[in-house]
């Protein structure tokens, strides 16, 4: 390996994991981690939870300290957006928007994504927020202080977490979801029902099967127009309707892209010399490329990508079983909490995991976790077990 070393484009959770895993796997060459933000790599899940509520500040979110990266010989470059990459027979060169260049022998893309924009008239009004990075969270936290009426568009994890925080702060909160249940893309119906009950029991109004057709206001948003012809008064609108993977660099390099940078179980792209990991990727599977947006997946893929670059054996990524704990309203007692138990009976390799979910006041449900799909498939459980 030449002295240029490894270049990791994207100071994300996956990028930070990749850098640290390279050292763990014995890589001794230079490692450069380049990020567009002015911060060292940090945790994103708390942005819609503890940070948004004001319980923690930005410094506590860092994944690693500056001293750690220095000790490990990892050069973290902040505030540089890579906009061009040239690949050579062995390695290549990346160029940032400011004109700075980075030579490399091995390349990793961990560039994440950007929030999907709300495609309706008025979406560019003031006080319409998206939540992806620290700057987004800081702006929303400030605006929440002066707001009373909060409309959250999208009943996914980010939207529900922010709704819970706003509700705890004493705001009037309405969640608008276009589908017929909350978090429909990633969880089974029993889990959707649990979170619906948890939010509604604390005073959050949830509108299902309802779309947003426009936003109105003078300068800043004041009203949300709904698909049923009604409207909602709003001081703040938070949009959480999904993530669009950053694929521009991958497309420039001629990599296969299908909603994300397509990778195999070892984080290799369609050009084996380039690896990718995290929210920007789509894992090749029997059912087609699979997008999985989670910390667990970013860590697993970052480690797999590091193993590939370092030339060592590491278990392949098959599709992470994602157990998420979205921030929600504090349950008054243990009896009101959703309980999910993994069935520990022996199972054949590749057989879906079985989990048992108990919804307060309702029947138990049995679910299977298929590693090829990012959701639980559930049915009511026979009381005989």
What is the DSSP secondary-structure string of 183-242? TTTTS-HHHHHHHHHHHHHTT-EEE-S--EEEEE-SSB--EEEETTS-EEE-SEEEE---
Q: Which residues contact 290 (CB under 8 A, 6 or more apart)?
A: 282, 283, 284, 319, 372, 373, 374
Please give the mean pLDDT across all residues of the chain.
Answer: 86
In this prediction, residues 326-346 reach a mean pLDDT of 44
Please, what CATH class does the domain formed by 6-49+60-114+243-310 belong to? alpha beta
Task: Assign 350 a pLDDT band (cuts: 50, 70, 90).
Answer: very low
Q: Which tens digit of pLDDT belongs to each residue from 54-72?
A: 999 999 999 999 999 999 9
pLDDT(272) > 90: no
pLDDT of the residue at 127: 98
pLDDT of the residue at 294: 86
* CATH 3.50.50.60 for domain 117-239: yes
b/e code 293-316 from CB counts within 10 Å (16+ = b): bbbebbbbbbbbbbbbbbeeebee
Where along the chain do its domains lie? 6-49+60-114+243-310, 117-239, 334-380
pLDDT of the residue at 342: 43
In this prediction, residues 162-166 reach a mean pLDDT of 97
pLDDT(312) > 50: yes
pLDDT of the residue at 292: 84
Q: How far is CA 333 from CA 164, 281, 330, in A?
A: 17, 39, 9
pTM of the model: 0.83
Residue 315 Rama label (left phi>0; alpha psi -120 to 50; beta): beta
Do the first three CATH levels of 6-49+60-114+243-310 and 117-239 match, i.e. the same topology?
A: yes
pLDDT of the residue at 187: 86
Residue of 114, 119, 187 lying closest to 157 (CA atoms): 187
Q: Helices 189-201 and 157-168: crossing angle, nearest 10°?
A: 20
* CA-angle at 5, arms to 276 and 27, nearest 5°: 85
pLDDT(211) > 80: yes
Counting residues of the chain whose pLDDT is more than 70, the rounded percentage is 81
């Amino acid at each position: 390996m030449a002295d240029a070393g490894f270049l990791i484009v994207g100071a994300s959770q996956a990028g930070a994991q990749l850098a640290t895993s390279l050292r763990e796997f014995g890589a001794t060459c230079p490692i450069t981690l380049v990020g567009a933000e002015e911060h060292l790599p940090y945790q994103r899940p708390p942005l819609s939870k503890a940070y948004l509520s004001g319980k923690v500040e930005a410094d506590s979110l860092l994944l690693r300290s500056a001293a750690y990266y220095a000790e490990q010989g990892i050069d973290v470059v902040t505030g540089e957006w890579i906009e061009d990459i040239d690949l050579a027979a062995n390695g290549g060169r990346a160029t940032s928007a400011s004109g700075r260049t980075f030579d490399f022998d091995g390349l990793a893309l961990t560039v994440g994504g950007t929030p999907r924009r709300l495609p309706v008239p008025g979406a560019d009004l003031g006080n319409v927020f998206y939540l992806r990075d620290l700057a987004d969270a800081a702006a929303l936290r400030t605006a929440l202080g002066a707001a009373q009426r909060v409309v959250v568009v999208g009943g996914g994890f980010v939207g529900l977490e922010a709704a819970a925080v706003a509700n705890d702060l004493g705001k009037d909160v309405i969640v608008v979801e276009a589908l017929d249940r909350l978090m429909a893309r990633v969880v089974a119906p029993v889990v959707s029902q649990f979170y619906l009950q948890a939010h509604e029991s604390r005073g959050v109004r949830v509108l299902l099967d309802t779309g947003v057709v426009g936003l109105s206001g003078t300068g800043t948003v004041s009203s949300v127009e709904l698909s049923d012809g009604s409207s909602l008064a709003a001081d703040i609108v938070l949009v959480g309707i999904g993530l669009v993977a950053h694929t521009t660099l991958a497309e420039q390099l001629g990599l296969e892209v299908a909603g994300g940078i397509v990778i195999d179980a070892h984080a290799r792209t369609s050009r084996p010399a380039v690896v990718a990991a995290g929210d920007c990727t789509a894992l090749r599977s029997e059912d087609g490329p699979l997008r999985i947006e989670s910390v667990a997946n970013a860590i697993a893929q970052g480690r797999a990508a590091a193993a590939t670059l370092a030339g060592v054996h590491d278990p392949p990524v098959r599709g992470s079983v994602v157990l998420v704990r979205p921030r929600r309203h504090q349950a008054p007692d243990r009896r009101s909490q959703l309980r999910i138990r993994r069935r520990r009976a022996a199972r054949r390799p590749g057989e879906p995991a079985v989990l048992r979910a108990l919804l307060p006041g309702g029947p138990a449900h049995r679910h299977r976790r298929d590693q090829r799909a990012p959701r639980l498939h559930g049915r009511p459980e026979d009381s005989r077990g």
